[in-house]
Amino acid sequence: EEAVVLGGDFNVCPTDHDVYDPKGFADDALCRPESRTRFRALCHLGYTDALRALHPELGLYTYWDYQAGRWNRDEGLRIDHLLLSPQAADRLVASDVDRGPRGMDKPSDHTPVWCELKK
């Protein structure tokens, strides 16, 4: 079967590990139980979160608000995700967040998340 990668800005922090201030974001749509439940529903279909499969640690963010110097203090959110079908997850070699673009002049408030699959 085909390996499938669902990727993009899902606008959800799947767990408290994906937000720098879980209490401060408890009522935000990004962290609401309803949002997290829908994200988990995709995982329950057999999809694997590529980044967390290889990096279960805290502090891997893909978005930093421009306001209040969030980037400089690494106060971010992980709302961009790569979800892998079982066929893709079996081929997962590496995954990470490329923070380089976020530090450039006039960057996006998001930075890329990537994964490598073996052939």
List the domains of the chain with CATH numbers: 5-117 (3.60.10.10)
The dihedrals phi and psi of 55, each to the nearest 5 degrees, come to: -135, 80
Residue 44's pLDDT is 96
- The structure's pTM equals 0.92
User: For position 104, what pLDDT does the model report?
Assistant: 86
**Are the CB atoms for 62 and 30 separated by under 8 Å?**
no
Residue of 90, 103, 2, 102 whose CA lies nearest to 115: 90
Helix (H) or strand (E) holding 25, with range, is none
**Residue 66, amino acid:** Y
The 10s digit of each residue's pLDDT in 3-62 is 999 999 999 999 999 999 999 999 999 999 999 999 999 999 999 999 999 999 878 999
Are 12 and 34 in contact by the 8 Å Cβ rule? The answer is no
